[in-house]
Structure 1
Amino acid sequence: MFERLAELTIRRSRVVLVVAVLAVALMGVLGVGAFGKLLGGGFDDPASESTRAAEVIAEKFGGETNLVLLVRTSDGRVDAPAARRSGEALAADLSADKRLTNVVSYWESGSDDLRSRDGSEAMVLAHVTGDETQRRENAQEVLDAYTGTYEDVLTVRAGGGAAVDSDMSKQVVDDLVLAEAIAIPLTLVLLLFVFGSVVAALLPLVIALIAVIGSFAQLSLLASVTDVADTATNLTTALGLGLGIDYALLMISRFREQLAAGASVDDAVRRTVSTAGRTVAFSAATVAAALGALLVFPQYFLRSLGFAGLGVVAVAAVATLFVMPALLAVLGHRVDSGRLPWAKPGRSGTRVPPLWGRLARTVMRRPALTALPVLAVLLLAASPLLGITFGTSDERVLPEDAQSRQVATALRENFDGSEDSALHVVIDEPVGRARLEAYAVALSGVEGVVRVEASTGGYAGGRPAAAGPGDAALGRGDAQRITVVSGLVPKSDAAQDLVEDVRAVTPPEGAHPLVGGVDAQLVDSKDSIGDRLPIAVALVALTTFLLLFLFTGSVVQPLRALVLNLISLGATLGVMTWIFQDGHLSSLLGFTAQPMEVAMTVLMFCIAFGLSMDYEVFVTSRIKELHAAGADNESAVADGLGHTGRIVSAAACLLAISFFAFGTSKIGFMQMFGLGSGLAILIDAIAVRGVLVPAAMRLLGRSAWYAPPSLRRLHDRFGLSEGGPGAIPTAESSHVKDLTRV
């Protein structure tokens, strides 16, 4: 297959490039509309109890409160005549707005719970209508219309879930622009340093550009048929840029190596496609296997990123396998045009052993002495995982100057419980007044509950709080809604325990209450992801094992790769826990310490695992090629790392830049994702590939290539490894030596 692909790109190189230009133009047109289709949120399980509760409340009660307008008066008293008149006018305007339902204000309800303790602020609660896309648009329009100064008397700020989503969506776009502005120039500089020539350095950017444009096109198509999270833009951009450059770097390096050995341009392209091209195909398959595991989760945040990641990996691989050989065939020896002053050819007849080859031989002479200290450091880095806790994103991931975060802080500090973070209990069936009242009384007696509001009245401390008919809007003939307000910090351990306690209260006879709200959503999300995580891990491990077996013909190599990758991933997640959960470096990076975001942690695991296997294939492919050609195990490892170590280190630095650029984000979980993914790549490329792999291969010896006879026959029939046209002997040249600097 790869031989036929090579012939196609050689004989029809200009046709391939014309088709590629047309395809990129079409993808660019499709990709323009991606941002308008992407959604915020997506962290909830659609089948969970909290989601079903929200659906019933939306259908029968106009929706849960997702917008809180915090109102302050110019004279400092919300009960002053001027403030009351303006407050009533604001509430009337909001009630008449078709984008809002369930508008409740302090001035209309007279509820002291909607007024701050010092009387200087009051709340107006509302529900922003529409599906995910419409709600975002409606929320932004409402915020533009009502926040700021109202009638020169009130100052209005917005909080609640709708406002947080609006602030987060705008921040994601700003962060993406900044990350690209940082990553692309740094990447170009490093490529110039790596290749030493302008033309060779620009070629990987061509593939990366195709991958990024293709990623936005497939995001636009995906968003037309399913929900896609807006943070997918960050992932696909970083992956597209990084993988495009990684794969192109491998192809160009092999092509220049063949030219330096005296091959013709056509033969160099053939050998490059049949060896490095085969490696790219397997590498893409391993990354896709890791990202495909995200599809087992019901949250569309993870599921959409799984689809998007599979798409960008496919685009990057296809562009590398078709466009890059065509470019190399057209350019030929001109691939080294624009040689830079520092890239001077070495003296003929001399050959300095590559740095990574020398390191591998040193490690293999004393494998235990060199590997144990590295292993100890990685295990120490992983130790914070012993105290890891998980949560979901809220306003605290935003910068402190974000309005929605400031409102949330004010609500916690100045009000006795907030309905924005209350638990919402809904009974989707008729319930008699006496049974409903008894249930509400029982709920109000749960430890941590400040008050309970139902259609039958208000309750606190296990008894009615005040006489009165209650809130009629909370009840209807076929359903009842109960609001349970606590004074607990939202998403804290105590708040999560309260969810379980409320769900444990004996319901009215024959009724089946559903408990929702932000804390219930957190509990359900953790349970949902925890239930499916073993399946995802098993799928990643199984598919990776099968792919590496097909690639190497050994059952030991896949197991060795899995163990070493898990060690490097453990170290990465441990460091991220130490930083983002325990709060170290928070003042430097500007984030608020909180539990690890559960969905983002799963995403980072899959991304980092896939990219680790990416480099595993890079290295193992060359070692396997040399071993199959007759080299002994130690020579194959040393020479294989000598050839690929510099490529892996350069590729790792380039890919890490793409992810580290997102460390500049002002959203906490995006910082964690960017820094964590970049760190995982560097740990894997340097500590694992440089030290632990040669040590493990030395200790395993000949058994590193073991497979039972039956599996060996299976591999002989179905397996794939680097091969193809006869190899042209390689020699170190000035082109290859340029890479040893990295």
Structure 2
Amino acid sequence: MATLLHRLGLTAYRRWPLVIATWVVLFIALGASVAAFSKPMSDSFSIPGIPSEKASDMQAELFPNAPDPSDRATVNVVVAAPEGAELADPEWTKATEALVGELSELPQMPDTPLADPVTAAEQQRQQLVGAAKEAGGDAEVAEANADALSPLSDDGRVGIITFDFAVESVADVEPTTIEALEDVMAEARDSGLTVEANGSGSQGMPHIGGTSELIGIAVALVVLILTFGSLVAAGLPIVTAAVGVGFGVTGISLMTAFTDIGSTTPMLATMIGLAVGIDYCLFILARFRAEMEHTSDRQDATGLAVGTAGSAVVFAGLTVLIALAALSVVRIPFLTSMGIAAAGTVLVAVLVALTLLPALLGMLGSKVFAGTVRRYRPARDHDGRILNNGVRWARVVGKQPLVVVALVVVALGSLAIPMKDLHLAFPTDSTASADSTQRKASDLVADAFGPGRDAPLLVVADGRDVPADERPAAYGEVVAWAAGQDDVSSAQIVGQNEDGTGAQVLVTPESGPEDTATEDLLSNLRDGQADVEDATGADLGVTGTTAIFTDVSERLSDALPIYLLVVIGLAFILLMIVFRSILVPLTATLGFLLSVLATLGITVAVFQEGAFGLVEGQPIVSFMPIFLIGLVFGLAMDYQVFLVTRMREAHVHGMSTRDAVVDGFRNSARVVAAAAVIMISVFAAFILIDEPIIKSMGFALAVAVFLDAFVIRMALVPALLYLMGEKSWWLPSWLDRLLPNVDVEGEKLERGQGGELVPDEASPGQHAADRQPV
């Protein structure tokens, strides 16, 4: 591989105008395709095969004209009179009617007329009671149902005005429509009313600005300037990473022409794309500068850098690709699209590092390290070799490796303890930011109507196999069964189809959508479903947004072991090929598991339990753990490959394991540390985004990178290598024959340059390790 990449680097350097022009043409073609074929992004979290989806399909058969809940752009405008007043008071009736009139004039509004909550509540009561009397039903039950479904609170102070925008999906709600809604609410507040709104249509598609990316890039630029001491060299990884992210995000937009893409997918791809894009180019550029220390041929230095460091980049990128692409194995559509999109961005980052970076080196020529702000003058050891902080730290770890292992295991194990209380759920309006109108509206509804008003469950009853004269009794039995469950505030039939073969029973819990009691209620309904079906002859299913989100969370939890098995298995094989060892990949994997458990523990403490008061405690986003594991595993193996390949390279050239560990830190610790700081900065900047999914992911990724890079790779791994000694590189002879030899160390290239690595105690002038200037 090193030989092939060496040739690729030389070709890109020589033919830099053609290479750069090719990237430009590809980007223009991709952008034109997006303009012609791309579609809006969506936020559907449904998973085919889950119980709530099956119930939803049953509902679609029985009620073909009913809208799909996942496509409805519903808005609940919550209006409240001042304390001690009622909406029925003349002053507030006038203000509420004015609000209703303004809402009716909003863009994209349906033709159905709106009514103020007081009027709507009375109309609904008359309709339900009249229908019950006409059918010979119980008027008192109808009164109770009217109270349970009323858009007006018991004290008459809070009301709800509900409507759906006339669009096919939430993605079709225009930003101008949301702005008009906000203006109408602001005007109504001037009258003295409290007015807030929630629902899927109240905010349209989330819009996330570029402030976080700019902050991460700014910090990365500072780190790169300190690393290279050159403004031009520091800018190269930023430029190439921006190109990679630009291609990745544009490609994601094109993917919308073929499949549904979630609105947060580009942001997650940007996170990983920026980080690995900068890191991969940093690693190759650092090796290029190392080669330039003992040659004046920039073309040859470029070829050697791409051939050696480029090999590590390829395998590091492959581990990330495996971790991300393997998300498709769990058969969760929205997670698959996230993984494939991020994997595509990483693939572009690798290609950019291997082709565009050497082309830019060819274009810049002698100006690559122009704009010098400081010169690198490394200290020398007593034997004349470079003495940097990496060497000092490696020797510190080497003095008491067993103590280091014990400290790391105990510390990270302690941090992982809060993970035992992990509660997974999807974000809802009730868990939104406290200063958002969605959260304020949900709080108003919870206080006035109970938290379960925002967490309804819908039981669909299929009575096609039930005799017509027995269906009313069967549906009534279903209602009684649902109402008798623990944590149920009310249950009533909210609709039947024309021929009476189907009914919808609305079950309102006493607890909110993110509460574990609501999940228990859903479980109890399904556990008792078979008995009710036997007793009534009707087929039942439970659906609704709350049920769908709960089922998705459960499917994600069930899929995690399969995902781990696939990712770790494939990556383990890949690492055996790279390191020609069993124990090195094993320690790398165990270290990753330790760091990710600690990360989840810290995330639970901060985001779920509200530790330190940084955020308001709420459940962890359901797909965060599995996506975190995928990303962190890929990134962890990046550092493993970058750091340990230099150790392997030293060992291949004759050093003992102890000396090879020190030499690996001498040559790569500074670069790996810089790469980790950059990644931490990029990820941490996303904490500033007021979007629960992105905020928690940014925090968790930043913590995970810190723990894995500085605790696992810089402390635990070298300590274990010291303890294992030469056994670190043990590989059965039969397995050695089976595994391909890809020459990741670039042994042929090194020998071609006359370079030779020697032990740490060797005399000056006999080694190639001092070539590394960063």
TM-score (norm 1): 0.88
The offset of 1:311, in angstroms, is 0.8
Q: Secondary structure at the match of 2:508?
A: strand
- Residue 659 of structure 2, aligned match among 627, 630, 635: 635
Structure 1 residues 553 and 564: CA distance shift in structure 2, 3 A: same
- The question of 1:513 aligning with 2:540 is answered yes
Q: How does 1:177-576 map to 2 (within 5 A)?
A: 177-262=210-295, 264-340=297-373, 342-343=374-375, 345=377, 351-416=385-450, 419-430=453-464, 432-454=471-493, 477-503=500-526, 504-505=528-529, 506-507=532-533, 509-576=536-603
Equivalent residue, structure 1, for 2:129:
none
Q: Distance in 2 between matches of 1:206 and 1:87?
A: 54
Equivalent residue, structure 1, for 2:151:
114
Cα deviation, 1:363-421, whole Å, max 9, x if unaligned, reads: 22321023221221111111111222222211244321211111111111111465442
Structure 1 residues 369 and 445: CA distance shift in structure 2, 3 A: closer
Cα deviation, 1:289-332, whole Å, max 9, x if unaligned, reads: 11112213444331211111111001100000001112223334
Q: Distance in 1 between matches of 2:497 and 2:618?
A: 34
The offset of 1:559, in angstroms, is 1.2
The offset of 1:129, in angstroms, is 5.8
Which amino acid in 2 is paired with 1:537? L
Equivalent residue, structure 2, for 1:464:
none
Q: Distance in 2 between matches of 1:382 and 1:414?
A: 39
Structure 1 residues 624 and 417: CA distance shift in structure 2, 3 A: closer
Cα deviation, 1:483-522, whole Å, max 9, x if unaligned, reads: 0112222221111111122222413633221111343223
Cα deviation, 1:608-639, whole Å, max 9, x if unaligned, reads: 11111111111122112121122211111210
Of 17-26 and 304-313, more deviation after overlay is shown by 17-26
Q: Distance in 2 between matches of 1:152 and 1:313?
A: 50
Q: Distance in 2 between matches of 1:372 and 1:144?
A: 56
Which amino acid in 1 is paired with 2:522? V
Structure 1 residues 164 and 608: CA distance shift in structure 2, 3 A: farther
The offset of 1:665, in angstroms, is 1.7
Overall identity of the aligned pairs, in %? 27
Which amino acid in 1 is paired with 2:507? V
Equivalent residue, structure 1, for 2:199:
161
Q: Secondary structure at the match of 1:593?
A: coil
The offset of 1:196, in angstroms, is 0.2
Whether the 8 Å CA contact 1:411–1:418 is kept in 2: the answer is: no
Q: Secondary structure at the match of 1:669?
A: helix
Q: Secondary structure at the match of 1:37?
A: coil
Which amino acid in 2 is paired with 1:575? I
Whether the 8 Å CA contact 1:35–1:230 is kept in 2: the answer is: no
Cα deviation, 1:685-741, whole Å, max 9, x if unaligned, reads: 1111211111111122222112222210012467755444234437577x944x3xx
Q: Distance in 1 between matches of 2:435 and 2:75?
A: 18
Q: Distance in 2 between matches of 1:404 and 1:21?
A: 43
Which amino acid in 2 is paired with 1:444? A
Whether the 8 Å CA contact 1:360–1:694 is kept in 2: the answer is: yes
Equivalent residue, structure 1, for 2:134:
none
The offset of 1:152, in angstroms, is 8.9
The offset of 1:284, in angstroms, is 0.6
Equivalent residue, structure 1, for 2:45:
43
Q: Distance in 1 between matches of 2:263 and 2:346?
A: 18
The offset of 1:61, in angstroms, is 3.1
For this pair of structures, how many residues does the alignment match?
711
The offset of 1:476, in angstroms, is 5.2
The offset of 1:530, in angstroms, is 1.9
Which amino acid in 1 is paired with 2:684? F
- The question of 1:692 aligning with 2:725 is answered no
- Residue 68 of structure 1, aligned match among 62, 65, 76: 76
Q: Distance in 2 between matches of 1:141 and 1:38?
A: 20
Q: Secondary structure at the match of 1:453?
A: strand
Q: Distance in 2 between matches of 1:661 and 1:421?
A: 33
Q: Distance in 1 between matches of 2:416 and 2:46?
A: 28
Whether the 8 Å CA contact 1:67–1:160 is kept in 2: the answer is: yes
Structure 1 residues 476 and 148: CA distance shift in structure 2, 3 A: farther
Whether the 8 Å CA contact 1:569–1:608 is kept in 2: the answer is: yes
Q: Distance in 2 between matches of 1:475 and 1:497?
A: 33
Q: Distance in 1 between matches of 2:742 and 2:311?
A: 15
Q: Distance in 2 between matches of 1:258 and 1:49?
A: 60
Of 216-225 and 664-673, more deviation after overlay is shown by 664-673
Q: Distance in 1 between matches of 2:333 and 2:299?
A: 46
Question: RMSD across aligned C-alpha pairs, in angstroms?
Answer: 3.2
Q: Distance in 2 between matches of 1:133 and 1:494?
A: 29
The offset of 1:33, in angstroms, is 9.2
Of 350-359 and 155-164, more deviation after overlay is shown by 155-164
The offset of 1:351, in angstroms, is 4.0
Structure 1 residues 393 and 35: CA distance shift in structure 2, 3 A: farther
Q: Distance in 1 between matches of 2:644 and 2:77?
A: 58
Whether the 8 Å CA contact 1:67–1:125 is kept in 2: the answer is: yes
Q: Secondary structure at the match of 1:513?
A: strand
- Residue 208 of structure 2, aligned match among 154, 166, 173: 173
Cα deviation, 1:619-676, whole Å, max 9, x if unaligned, reads: 1221121211222111112101211111100000011111000111222332221111
- Residue 669 of structure 2, aligned match among 645, 657, 666: 645
Q: Distance in 2 between matches of 1:719 and 1:509?
A: 70
The offset of 1:221, in angstroms, is 1.2
Structure 1 residues 418 and 85: CA distance shift in structure 2, 3 A: farther
Of 697-706 and 276-285, more deviation after overlay is shown by 697-706
Equivalent residue, structure 2, for 1:467:
none
Which amino acid in 2 is paired with 1:627? H
Equivalent residue, structure 1, for 2:761:
none
Q: Distance in 1 between matches of 2:711 and 2:650?
A: 23
Q: Secondary structure at the match of 1:485?
A: strand
Whether the 8 Å CA contact 2:216–2:685 is kept in 1: the answer is: yes
The offset of 1:136, in angstroms, is 4.2
- The question of 1:15 aligning with 2:18 is answered yes
The offset of 1:567, in angstroms, is 0.9
Q: Secondary structure at the match of 1:114?
A: coil
Whether the 8 Å CA contact 1:257–1:731 is kept in 2: the answer is: no
Cα deviation, 1:234-255, whole Å, max 9, x if unaligned, reads: 2122222111110111111101
Of 542-551 and 351-360, more deviation after overlay is shown by 351-360
The offset of 1:531, in angstroms, is 2.0
Which amino acid in 2 is paired with 1:573? L
Q: Secondary structure at the match of 1:343?
A: coil
Of 365-374 and 55-64, more deviation after overlay is shown by 55-64
Equivalent residue, structure 2, for 1:458:
none
Whether the 8 Å CA contact 1:550–1:720 is kept in 2: the answer is: no
The offset of 1:362, in angstroms, is 2.6
Q: Secondary structure at the match of 1:480?
A: strand
Q: Distance in 2 between matches of 1:718 and 1:423?
A: 56
Unaligned runs of 5+ in 1: 455-470
Structure 1 residues 234 and 100: CA distance shift in structure 2, 3 A: farther
The offset of 1:143, in angstroms, is 3.6
Cα deviation, 1:455-490, whole Å, max 9, x if unaligned, reads: xxxxxxxxxxxxxxxx55677533211101122222
Unaligned runs of 5+ in 2: 126-145, 756-766
Whether the 8 Å CA contact 1:368–1:695 is kept in 2: the answer is: yes
Q: Distance in 2 between matches of 1:709 and 1:130?
A: 65
